[in-house]
Structure 1
């Protein structure tokens, strides 16, 4: 039985012989960054770049706190804490593993996204509950997700799940 997987935004996507399993991550934002820094699939020079970016962001935050007015720094800290609390609530109430049999998948459309604005993703169209549903499968950020999107695209193409462009799409 052939089983392959690739990283998603907050977990893994397992492409088995007859089904797709989307496993949510349980480690949150910092766990994803830690995985990006320790993942052997990412070249060491790029991991060093991620680490330097994180250090630069931390230094920038410290300098901002020291130079901005106290009320503004407090407002930013409050918004940051509210965002972290919201993420913690979302991860606790999130859905578990999703399993989609290949027989139900109508097609998977890869979308590279807009550089620096959106993450690369896959739009999975599948039959469920008498209709066709769409599920967006986000891959890691371009900052630390080196190769995850391309690996997912290759795996879906090997299984014949990617939507093939029609002649009308190519002409446009």
Structure 2
């Protein structure tokens, strides 16, 4: 059927059910995918790349102008985080499968701008109860169209209905 990017993987809306791949990539890998995705207009990809470059230049300037002890502490924390993430191994890649007959509802939530990511709340029956799975979309800064693509795919499959426009005249 189709798929869309999530925060750290992909959500595949297939013929037989939903497959959610988790732990495929790091935040930098997600950003790299956003900058190389052919569905994203070149102007937006260039804007994303320039924003990333501005962040790197800002960090370099901050390191050069801050006191030595503060810059050293920041660099030390960054190196400790990198070593820890390499030794820890990150999240193992896994895939969650949900059959369509078990899905009770899919609710898209746009989230609060600049505070939370757009996401889908999938309610499904499992193990004698109803579980919730949150599918987080990429950040609005580099998630160009992932949320809208997810809404389209869920609507095509009949899992989500577009709210009817009411004419209260």
Interval containing the TM-score (normalised by the shorter chain) = 0.7 to 0.9
Is 1:99 aligned to 2:97, yes or no? yes
Any residues of structure 2 matched to 1:154-169 within 5 Å, and which?
154-162=152-160
Question: Helix, strand or coil for the counterpart of 2:90?
Answer: helix
- Checking the alignment, whether the CA contact within 8 Å between 1:9 and 1:140 is kept in structure 2 is yes
Any residues of structure 2 matched to 1:72-111 within 5 Å, and which?
72-84=70-82, 92-94=90-92, 96-111=94-109
Question: Helix, strand or coil for the counterpart of 2:141?
Answer: coil
Higher helix share: 1
1:31 deviates by 1.4
1:72 deviates by 1.5
- Checking the alignment, whether the CA contact within 8 Å between 2:5 and 2:146 is kept in structure 1 is yes
TM-score, normalising length: structure 1:
0.85
What does the per-residue CA deviation read over 1:27-60, in whole Å, with 9 as the maximum and x for residues that have no partner? Answer: 3122111111110011000000011001100100
Aligned partner of 2:139 in structure 1 is 141
Structure 1 stretch displaced more, 117-126 or 92-101:
92-101
Aligned partner of 2:48 in structure 1 is 50
- Checking the alignment, whether the CA contact within 8 Å between 2:117 and 2:136 is kept in structure 1 is yes
Aligned partner of 1:125 in structure 2 is 123
Return closer, same or farther for 1:105/1:90 CA change in 2, 3 Å cut-off: farther
State the alpha-carbon separation in 1 of the partners of residues 29 and 16 from structure 2. Answer: 30
State the alpha-carbon separation in 2 of the partners of residues 87 and 41 from structure 1. Answer: 31
Work out which of the residue numbers 3, 6, 11 in structure 2 matches 1:5.
Answer: 3
State the alpha-carbon separation in 2 of the partners of residues 130 and 81 from structure 1. Answer: 46
Cα RMSD over matched residues?
2.2
- Checking the alignment, whether the CA contact within 8 Å between 2:9 and 2:23 is kept in structure 1 is yes
State the alpha-carbon separation in 2 of the partners of residues 152 and 91 from structure 1. Answer: 29
What does the per-residue CA deviation read over 1:62-89, in whole Å, with 9 as the maximum and x for residues that have no partner? Answer: 0000111122122222333344456557
TM-score, normalising length: structure 2:
0.87
